Structures are given as C-alpha cells and as structure tokens.
Structure 1
Amino acid sequence: MTDENTLPLIFFPGLAADANIFVPQAIAFPQLIVPPWPSPETNESLDSYAQRVAEDLRDYGPCIVGGASFGGIVSLHVAKYLDARAVLLIGSIASPDELPTYGRIARPLKRLVRLLPIRMMQWLATPLASNAVRRIAPFSWGLVRQFRGSDPDVFRWSLARILDWHDTPVLDCPVFHVHGDRDRTLPIRYTQPDTVVRGGGHVISLTHADEVNAFIRDAINQINHS
C-alpha cells in the first residue's frame, strides 16, 4: 500500500505558467513536485514532448501525475510513460472532445500563433495583476498572474498544441477531475468532472485551494485503498 506522505505528486501548471500556481498545494503536500517546462523543439508534438518530460521524472518511481488547465492535458500524456497510479485534472479537460466551441473554431488559426506579441501582451496585462484586481476579480487576477509568468516560446508552443490536440491517451490508471462551475476558459458544460467547485473559475488551485486540496486528499485515499 502506498503512503500519502511518500507517493510523489507531479503537477504541471497551465499554459507555460510556473510553480506559483500550486503554492497552496505545495504547503499542504510536501511531496509535490512541479517540474519546469523544458524548451520545446520546433514543431514538437505533444506526445513527443511528454515523453521527453517523463524521461526526467522516471527516477521518482510510482507517482500521481496531474495538472491545471493545459498542464492537465500534458499530464495525461506524461502518465503514459511513467508508473502513474492516477491522473488528477484541475480545471482541465480529459479529451479533445471537451474543448469548448471557440477552441475548435480556432484550430485553423494555429499558424498565426507564432506571430503573437507575447511580451507586449504580458506588459499590457500588468495592471490586471494588482492586489486590487485580486480583491474584486480573483478569477481574472489568477489568469493574468499565470500568463505574466509564462515563457513566451513555451506559451506559443502550448497554445498551438491545444489547437491541434486530437488524440486522447489510453491509460491504465484512473483519472480524477475537479472543475469550477464558473470556469469561463474551459466551461464545465463541456466536461464531466468528478468534483465540482461551486463558484470556482479557471484557477481554482489558487482561488479555491481548500476545495482542491480536499479533492487531492480524497483521490490519494481512493488510490491507497484500491
């Protein structure tokens, strides 16, 4: 039987964001690991990238893999190449069929992603990352904070991979999913989560940390007793 305090949790943040998105989870779960995003190779596929990421993580042995938003998509592919006991999706989706309508419509625009002025967009978004915005619009604040901390090259690659994601990984482990019912980025109506966070937006790991941490503990308990 695995132990809650020793089984590694390997989480991936959304759209090239960093470990700050999981600060509340890092406090609650000392075994949490948030790997940095490696620089993607030119036109590297999602599965190839995930396999390369997994190569640096195999030494952890049996683990729980998960992620927020795009990080959840990555975790599904990484789990194929690790001894994953489960995948935890936090405000993410389990298959391309769960992409919202705007994501499917935007697929033909993938070639334009490389032209996005990410640095300028991050600079323009600076006012939205203030504490004042956090108090009155925590959902927007969380998204902006994630975006401003992203690497432009990884962000462009990640966005392109979302637009051309077509294959759902086949896994031998269970997938647990928690989602906010006010998520406007990946609306809950397109998904089938196991746990719904009432009033939660897209960055529930920050805005609704207690609920997300409870979801993680429940998943660990189910794995330990399976």
Structure 2
Amino acid sequence: MSKIPVYFMPGLAASSSIFERVKLDEDVFEMFLLEWEIPKPKESLSDYALRISEKIKHANPVLIGVSFGGILVQEISKHIKTRKVIIISSVRSNVEFPRRMKIGKTTKAYKLIPMQLILNIEKLAKFSFGEKVNKRIKLYEKFLSVRDLGYLQWAVESVIRWDRNQIDENVVHIHGDQDEVFPIKYINKCIIVKGGTHIMILNKYKWLNENLPSIILEE
C-alpha cells in the first residue's frame, strides 16, 4: 500500500521546524515540510501559491498549513488536486478576520507597520505568534527563519488583502479556543482544541499526534 503524502506549511516568517514534534505513523503517512521563499516583486498570492505548488511532487497530497500557511495551502489547492486540506490556527475566509484586520484592510493601516522594527526577534515573535509570547525568545529564534523585509511586507499585505469571502466547507479547520490572533468568536465551524493558543502547533502537538491521523483518513 502506498503511503499518504502529507505536506506541512509553517506560519508567517516561521520555518518548518515548528513541526518537529508532529509525528505521524510512518507506515501510513509520509511527511514533507515546505518552507517560505522570498516573493518576487509584486507577486500575487495566487502566483506565489503556484510557485510553491511546484515543490509538491506527489499526486493528491494532504496539505496542512498553520496560520498564514493555512491561507497559503488553500490557495495552493486551487492549482493542484488534493486529497484533503487542513488548516491550524488560521481562517477559511476573510469573514473570519478579527475586526482590527478588517479595519486595517479598509484604512490600509497595515502599510504603516514599521517592518524594520519587526525584524527584532522579540517583536517578530509577537507579530507571528501573538501577543502572549512568553520570554522564551531563544525558542522562537529557532522557529522564525525568514527575516527578509520584502517578505514581511508582502506577507502582511497578502493576509490583510486576502480576497476569499466564502468558506470552503471541504477545508478542515482545527483551532484553539484561546487563539489571540484569530479569536474563536470570529471562527465559523471548526474542530476546537481546548486551551489551544495561536502557537498550539508547538505546545499541543500531543493532541495533534493523537487526532491528525483520523482527521486525515476521514472520508
């Protein structure tokens, strides 16, 4: 029996090392880790998704994305046939954005974010993982690999301006009830992880290891 290919996409500015504690049965699944690439000038999210999709070498894979990576895998699934798309700590449409992000889109306030400041690791950690990041900054330094100014500006703009306003019911959404970046009150139908924050990929990995196999295999 051939194994099910499962591709993982990390969150904004993060490296695939955020998945190091996620383990799937190697007799059934084969795990592949995707990384962020520096976007080309004025590259659209759709074109970027197409470029990343070329790294996927298997037919009908499972795509799993965290946070902004969850948005990206939904865009990738427009370009390739997938077995399943699963998002973690993310959104299935811009309707689920918190109010500040909706206001940011209308006012273009995101253009005022001083990206140079965010390149400071502590600020980048808070920006990517949420305000409640504790002081274990060395840990986050390991996970935040993309410190490119152009990438950050592109990524923030791509999230805020994401134009999907209809939820794709086929996308499986796993979300923590303590997520401070995408609060649960704005989320429409998801698998809720009790106590899960925006960084639950790091600290709720036991829940994911126990539950992801059946979520993937569910018809």
Report the TM-score when normalising by structure 1. 0.80
1:18-76 CA-to-partner distances (Å, cap 9, x unmatched) read 01111111x3355221112121011211111101111221x311200120000000000
Structure-2 residue corresponding to 1:136? none
Aligned-partner residue type, residue 5 of structure 2: P
- Distance in 2, matches of 1:73 and 1:169, equals 13
- Separation in 1 of the partners of 2:136 and 2:159? 17
Partner of 2:191: 195
SS of aligned partner of 1:160:
helix
Matched, 1:8 2:23: no
Say whether 1:140 aligns with 2:133.
Answer: yes
**Structure-2 separation of matches of 1:28 and 1:106:** 38
Give the partner amino acid of 2:81.
D
Query: Which structure 2 residues correspond to residues 22-101 of structure 1 after superposition, within 5 A?
Result: 22-25=19-22, 27-28=23-24, 30=26, 31-57=30-56, 59-101=57-99
Q: Any idea what the Cα deviations from partners look like across 1:72-115, whole Å, max 9, x if unmatched?
A: 000000011122011101111000111111111122124335x5
Please say which of residues 101-110 and 27-36 is displaced more in the overlay.
27-36
Offset, 1:169: 7.8
Contact 1:80–1:169 (8 Å) recurs in 2: no
Q: CA separation in 1, counterparts of 2:135 and 2:17?
A: 10
- Residue 149 of structure 1 is matched in structure 2 by 145
Taking the aligned partners of 2:101 and 2:118, their CA distance within structure 1 comes to 23
Q: Give percent identity, aligned residues only.
A: 26
* Letter matched to residue 51 of structure 2: R
Which runs of 5 or more residues in structure 2 are unaligned? 127-131
How many residues are matched? Answer: 206
Q: Structure 1: any 5+ residue segments left out of the alignment? A: 129-138
Distance, in Å, in 2 between the alignment partners of 1:46 and 1:142 is 33
Q: Is this contact kept in 1: 2:92–2:167, CA < 8 A?
A: no
- 1:133 maps to which residue? none
Paired residue type of 1:199:
G
Name the SS for the 1:159 alignment partner. helix
Describe the shift of the 1:119–1:110 C-alpha distance in structure 2 as closer, same or farther (beyond 3 A).
Answer: closer
With normalisation by structure 2, the TM-score equals 0.82
Contact 2:46/2:75 (8 A) holds in 1? yes
Partner of 1:208: 204
User: Equivalent residue of 1:87, what SS?
Assistant: strand
